Structure 1
Amino acid sequence: MTLAILCSGQGRQHRNMFALTGDAPEAAQLFAHAAALLGGRDPRDFVRGEADEALHRNRAGQILCTLQPLAAASALADVFPHGVIIAGYSVGEVAAWGVGGLFDATATLDLVARRAEVMDAATRAGDGLIFVRGLSREEIGHLCERHGAAIAIVNPGDAFVIGGGREALSRIAEDARAMHAARIVALPVEVASHTKRLAVASAVFRKTLRQASVMFPPRSGARILSGIDAAPVVSLETGLDKLAAQISQTVQWADCLQACVEAGATGFLELGPGHALSGMAAEIGSGLSARSLDDFRSLQGVRAWAARHLSA
């Protein structure tokens, strides 16, 4: 099996998200660093003790959802083969650079904290995201054009995340129901990520990335995909340009999953939190093995699964 690692975005934070990684000695420094970014709150205590609203605030959510894949990668470093394929969903793309070794892990946490801050600064009151499944790309595009919103993420199976202001999203949801969309969900995200409403945030974050220390090409040999076009990062400057642009451009996630398959991936491991990405990966082709860290009861179980499939 050729393995693809998937780094999750926001939205699936939960109180047990660090059940496997929280006690891993390899990740202790990461949890300590994240605690400093969370105002001194240990992330493990934070997710268990805070209300859902606090877990889904943009800055905290981005830090938590980046900490999890970084902690998992540090604890499972012996599992990931040289040249692994890595793709990240939304903020997970920054995590993917950390998991792949382009950014130092603690520096990755600093970068996502800054990313969230510049996004919040550029956000208008009432901005957010909704999920719509069951309408075509053309139909969704017309709805967005009609109501002044934009497609934020293209997922497999006629599934889309749409970003915009509260009134525009409400009108789109109403029209989508009338058009018999299969599912419509307001997402617990308070920014219109991956839309032109955050163009200023992209520009500011690119300045931050210019100051970042980057190991390129990575010693891991990782093949890291850019979210806005599913192309592998083969040029540092172009890759950083795309990483910043992703804040205000559509994420082509369906294309990213297909690019993993075309690069030879026959198995997917989502580092979490949640199962959303591994579920999508399982749907794109028969015979693909797709699991999430949240599926397992121990890190040893992850190692056993990987050993079994990587030797197949």
Structure 2
Amino acid sequence: MPLAILCSGQAHQGPDMFALTADAPVAQLLFSLASALLGGRDPRRMVLEADATTLQANRTGQILCVLQGLAAAATLADVMPDSFIVAGYSIGELTAWGVAAAIAPADVLRLAAERAELMDAASRPGEGLLALRGLDEVRIAQLATEHDAAVAIVNPGGGVILGGSANALSALSADAVSAGAYRVVRLPVAVASHTPRLADAARQFRIDLAGTTIDTRALRRHRLLSGIDGQAVFDPDAGLDKLAAQISRTVHWNACLQACLEAGATAFLELGPGHALAEMAAGAYCMPARSISEFAAMEGVRAWVKTR
């Protein structure tokens, strides 16, 4: 499996996110399905007309990000290899189940909306996420404990995302800078994703997932990775347990990328929005890593995929 597909998380929603997929015939049904979940607004017009606050809202953002990944995958389906590796970052893990064809696209979009609603209901005002780089694991753990925060995501190269209340993240930011962190950035996400604060949402989402139809053939054909540990999903129930659990547990994205490499990946393609995952992969491993957002037209992406 030489190609690893990376499904993006939130934070990079913007006017150009559907530039390569908006007119693709195979993606039209997906845009219609998403529109129904967005109060009848066409997502292609929405990203052009809405302000950043609207696009970064948790429910809207999760739907848009899942839609982008599914639309890109549908547009590339006829040039994709018969088998590939697929992993998703945060909400991107749900996208990955759709890209692998383990869950039908309509169900993936519906579940994205339900997931966001559950997370919003379990959250308190002011909670969010903070990106940090430049400190070792021990010091990060100490800061998290001192400020009642939690490690939400572990990225390659020592980067982490922490979740907590607004006051906690503000104080943690100041202490991290004093301790020598060279990158401390509050992310445009209004929930403390992947922390114990969302345990109730994780439990409820597992109940929602219980009625989902899973195509087990897809799990044998592709290598779908679980975000909390980078392990391949072979058993659907165990995989859904982890998919729900990651709402309130740390996502080990470093383990996911390493698992891609161990499964034989020689190139990475991020479906977007954004190119953060491709940059992480390129920085961690000396192999081709691209995002579709880097291409001027889908034909360029298709040509690149054909060479993998």
Q: Is the 8 A contact 1:101 1:220 kept in 2?
A: no
For 2:154 and 2:137, the matched residues in 1 are separated by: 8
Which deviates further from its counterpart, 212-221 or 149-158? Answer: 212-221
Q: Is the 8 A contact 2:194 2:247 kept in 1?
A: yes
For 1:119 and 1:275, the matched residues in 2 are separated by: 25
Secondary structure of residue in 2 paired with 1:247:
coil
Whether 1:144 aligns to 2:137 is no
Post-superposition shift, 1:259? 0.6
Amino acid at match of 2:117: E
C-alpha RMSD of matched pairs (Å): 1.0
For 2:220 and 2:32, the matched residues in 1 are separated by: 25
Secondary structure of residue in 2 paired with 1:78:
helix
Secondary structure of residue in 1 paired with 2:143:
helix
Post-superposition shift, 1:217? 3.0
For 1:19 and 1:262, the matched residues in 2 are separated by: 33
Q: Is the 8 A contact 2:219 2:234 kept in 1?
A: no
Aligned residues: 308
TM-score (norm 2): 0.98
Secondary structure of residue in 1 paired with 2:215:
coil
For 2:222 and 2:183, the matched residues in 1 are separated by: 36
Which deviates further from its counterpart, 299-308 or 227-236? Answer: 299-308
Q: Where does 1:58-207 land on structure 2 (aligned, <5 Å)?
A: 58-207=58-207
For 2:284 and 2:126, the matched residues in 1 are separated by: 34
Which deviates further from its counterpart, 75-84 or 35-44? Answer: 75-84
For 2:237 and 2:220, the matched residues in 1 are separated by: 19
Identical aligned pairs, as a percentage?
54
Q: Is the 8 A contact 1:5 1:271 kept in 2?
A: yes
1:239-293 deviation per Cα after TM superposition (whole angstroms, max 9, x unaligned): 000000000000000110011001100100000000100000001122x100000
2:228 alignment partner in structure 1: 228
Whether 1:301 aligns to 2:300 is yes
For 2:93 and 2:219, the matched residues in 1 are separated by: 18
Structure 2, unpaired ranges of 5+: none
Post-superposition shift, 1:220? 7.5
Q: Which runs of 4+ in 1 moved over 6 A?
A: none
1:167-212 deviation per Cα after TM superposition (whole angstroms, max 9, x unaligned): 1111110001101211111100000000000000000000000011
For 1:174 and 1:92, the matched residues in 2 are separated by: 30
Amino acid at match of 1:88: G
